[in-house]
Structure 1
Amino acid sequence: MADGSEPRPAPVSPLAPFQFPAFRAIWIANLASNMGSMIQSVGAAWLMTELTQSHLLIALVNAGATIPILLIGVFAGAIADNYDRRRVMLWAQAGMLAASAALAAVTWFGTIGPLSLLFFTLAVGCGTAVNSPAWQASVRQQVGHAHLPQAIALNSIAFNLARSVGPALGGLLISLTGPAPAFALNTLSYLALIVVLLRWKPETEPPKRSPMLAAIATGLRFCAQSDPVRRVLMRGFSFGFGAAAFQALLPSLVRDQLRGGELDYGLCLGAFGLGSIICALWVGAARRRWGSEIVVSVATLAFAAALVPVALTDQVGAVLAAAFIAGMAWVGTLTSLNVAMQLRSPDAILGRCLSIYQAVTFGALALGAWVFGMIADLWTLPAAVLAGGGWLALSVPILHAVAPMPGRDEGRIAP
């Protein structure tokens, strides 16, 4: 087109990727798997509140799912680019199934402790770290480049649909039966995605393999040299670090400040997920109208504002409303960052670029969980949550000046 923008003969429906059978089947199976994962995460987080009084250990349950992304994420990205991505996902799903089954068994026999719970959480997190770059990089194989933003948004909806329903179901299940059946249910949830992946036979060229360290260096070099990508990574790190004040400390807040139980915790996560779904439905249109910079900045400020009532109130209703707003802000920010990263990464090293993005963003989430958990133990829970909100609020004007989001066509990789 004359103005240099990408051709858009007509608005693309947010549901357009469902016309592709592979995407549709994987989306449904992934929804089931995410539902099981959310039920297990609620069970693990609440079980830790029963095993220890330490806010730090409780926060590390959340961090345990993200620390592996920081430690092995870049290796996982190189694996996703060097090997068949479908097979990588299959091996990762099988590993998570085995770890979840072991966690269910140990919990059932009553031999679980704080450290062993963290170990199994880390084991599942390692599977997630290996699976995620291959899964995200395979989206192009499922729908093609033209429908990529809509496919990313729909995958976010699947995750957050599970996040809205799964925690409430998990809280109810745990209150009735204890955590072991919740862990067993998650074990079964991996089977649907494994079956779908076994049946999916994408037509792809064999990947060009390169030595692992050289492959990682190529991805790191590209991300370091690309100014738009560097700015996306800076935004991801800053948001992940501050958002950890809510994500990691919510179990402690429900137990100690709201005086609630498993169901209250599940409902808070459910409100977060419901907000995420609603935002995912229109965030693409918001980016097209106002641009990524405004969307990410407003969403970050909204998350910061939501942390104020979370820190200061003991009313469940107020926390549910704040969690809903935080969920909208979470998806508004991370979906925009993910789309910006995918559209500016060459296909040959896409897995490595996405793994670096995830290592930075979710590594910051794990670091934030440790920092704010320490603040909560040394000072108070409200102080830790408000510190996270303060970090997010201060980051917006600073990053707007030094690391603005890339413009629509800035650094964009042609299909």
Structure 2
Amino acid sequence: MNARLRGTAQETFRSFSIRNFRLFFVGQLISQIGKWLTMVALVLFVLHLTDNGVAIGLLTACQFLPVLLIGAWAGLLADRSDKRRLLMVVQAFAMLQSFALAALAFTGDPPLWSLYLVALAGGFAIAFDSPARRAFVVEMVPEADVNNAVSLNSALMTGARVVGPALAGALIYFFGYGWAFLLDGISYLAVIAGLYLIDPRELRTARVTSRAKGQVRAGLRYVSQVHDLWVPLVMMAIIGTFTFNFQVVLPLFVTRSLGSTSTMYTVLWSVVSLGAVAGALATARRSETTVSNVVAAAATFGGGMLLLAAAPNLWLAYPAGLLMGFTSISFMTSSTAIVQVRADPTMRGRVLALQSMVFLGSTPVGGPILGFVIDIFGARSGVVLGGLAALGAAAWGWRVERAHLALRPEAVPLDTTVAV
């Protein structure tokens, strides 16, 4: 039994045998915990100042609008650049953004527009960080371990969501909002140090894309030609718009529908994240991901959201949130892994940027819509809408995949005239 457990652990965490990945993982873990301090504290700060769902939706729009506007060009920059150096610059900028939020919070009652403006600056950091960071994960491990590294990276991100929100709630309760933002700013030193210590000679670096006209359009054209890329991206656009807007839906669901406090929202968020960690580790052993896996994950995610919506009180919301977290990261990991593995290395940055655009970039669209729906029909309706959207995306994906498998076309060469 012990030998079997050791074998399972070695298989699940095999990417940790690579020094560069360990350095990246530890630095990112500390920084991501800090990032969630800011993500949660900023939402609660705006809720404290306004008690308005639309205001929270607009905050979310500011945080992710740059991804929608410049995401494709940010991905192209990742393809053209040394990703390690690019990430170090982006992390330094994000650190300054967190310090600016701390300065505003320490004033006590900053104007709402100033918080929106700094959140918008943070959105530009996200736009450049997301494609470069996720493409860089692929370069640190052998190709056979890419799915494992992606899943462990997802476990890292969700593990930070367990600690970050709970820590944010404690800091806000005992010390105030400013200290959460300040601690986040300091945490960026860890990821910058980790990136600096990585040995570039051990990286499986993709060929840097040279400058040419039409490279963004080439990336879009490439994705449209690959079934295993465009189907998950369309599903992600739907689910990203209406289902993954947790920052808008959950605090209002806890405080209004369940009649609890903003501090208990951070506890529920940590429970959701704990389920997400379990989901990420469960998928870490998978050696291959298909569109069918993505469809199944979307369907279970929708079911988890509807179960959470039916919870009559906070105590029953905890097990429902645990399931929702597990299914949400299963969908996220499956849809990310298939894109990272199936994309051509010279296109990977642009493809991952496009995924960020349809996921994070859809948030500015869905956030204000969900905030409006919640203000009119109640917070529970926002959770229901998210569940139905995920089920709808799964039904569409199942239909398209079924038709694709039934046709079984002969392999058609991709358009090789695109500029890369």
TM-score by length of 2: 0.88
Closer, same or farther in 2 for the Cα pair 1:11/1:47, shift >3 Å?
closer
Q: SS of the counterpart of 2:260?
A: coil
Closer, same or farther in 2 for the Cα pair 1:87/1:390, shift >3 Å?
same
Q: Distance in 1 between matches of 2:348 and 2:327?
A: 26
Q: SS of the counterpart of 1:66?
A: helix
1:293–1:404 Cα contact (<8 Å) kept: no
CA shift digits 1:186-237 (9 cap, x unpaired)? 00010111112122241347724214x6221221121122222111211211
Partner of 1:209: 210
Q: Distance in 2 between matches of 1:229 and 1:11?
A: 30
Q: In structure 1, list runs of 5 or more residues that go unmatched.
A: 1-9
Q: Distance in 1 between matches of 2:371 and 2:312?
A: 19
Q: Distance in 1 between matches of 2:401 and 2:365?
A: 21
Opposite residue 178 of structure 1, the aligned amino acid is G
Q: Distance in 1 between matches of 2:169 and 2:215?
A: 43
2:23–2:198 Cα contact (<8 Å) kept: no
Partner of 1:387: 385
Q: SS of the counterpart of 1:249?
A: helix
1:292–1:406 Cα contact (<8 Å) kept: no
Partner of 1:166: 164
Partner of 1:347: 345
User: Within the alignment, does 1:329 sit opposite 2:327 as a pair?
Assistant: yes
Q: SS of the counterpart of 1:337?
A: helix
Seq. identity, %: 28
Closer, same or farther in 2 for the Cα pair 1:256/1:405, shift >3 Å?
farther
Partner of 1:5: none
Closer, same or farther in 2 for the Cα pair 1:143/1:315, shift >3 Å?
same
Opposite residue 258 of structure 1, the aligned amino acid is L
Kindly tell me the number of residue pairs found equivalent between the two proteins: 399
Partner of 1:151: 149
Q: Which of 87, 90, 111 is the matching residue for 1:89?
A: 87
Partner of 2:317: 319
1:229–1:341 Cα contact (<8 Å) kept: yes
Q: SS of the counterpart of 2:304?
A: helix
Q: Which of 105, 108, 133 is the matching residue for 1:107?
A: 105
1:36–1:189 Cα contact (<8 Å) kept: yes
Q: Distance in 2 between matches of 1:104 and 1:247?
A: 20
Q: Distance in 2 between matches of 1:406 and 1:183?
A: 48
Opposite residue 335 of structure 1, the aligned amino acid is T
1:235–1:403 Cα contact (<8 Å) kept: no
Q: In structure 2, list runs of 5 or more residues that go unmatched.
A: 1-7, 406-410, 415-420
Opposite residue 172 of structure 1, the aligned amino acid is A
Aligned pairs for 1:275-286 within 5 A: 275-285=275-285
Partner of 2:243: 243
How far residue 124 of structure 1 moved from its aligned partner, in angstroms, is: 1.4
Q: SS of the counterpart of 1:260?
A: coil
Partner of 1:261: 261
Q: Distance in 2 between matches of 1:381 and 1:11?
A: 41
Q: Distance in 2 between matches of 1:233 and 1:98?
A: 32
How far residue 12 of structure 1 moved from its aligned partner, in angstroms, is: 7.7
Partner of 2:417: none
Q: SS of the counterpart of 2:11?
A: coil
User: Within the alignment, does 1:234 sit opposite 2:210 as a pair?
Assistant: no
Partner of 1:64: 62
Task: Please identify, of 167-176 and 241-250, the stretch whose mean Cα deviation from structure 2 is larger.
Answer: 241-250
Closer, same or farther in 2 for the Cα pair 1:258/1:79, shift >3 Å?
same
Aligned pairs for 1:369-380 within 5 A: 369-380=367-378
Partner of 2:361: 363
How far residue 54 of structure 1 moved from its aligned partner, in angstroms, is: 1.9
Task: Please identify, of 271-280 and 395-404, the stretch whose mean Cα deviation from structure 2 is larger.
Answer: 395-404
Partner of 1:222: 222
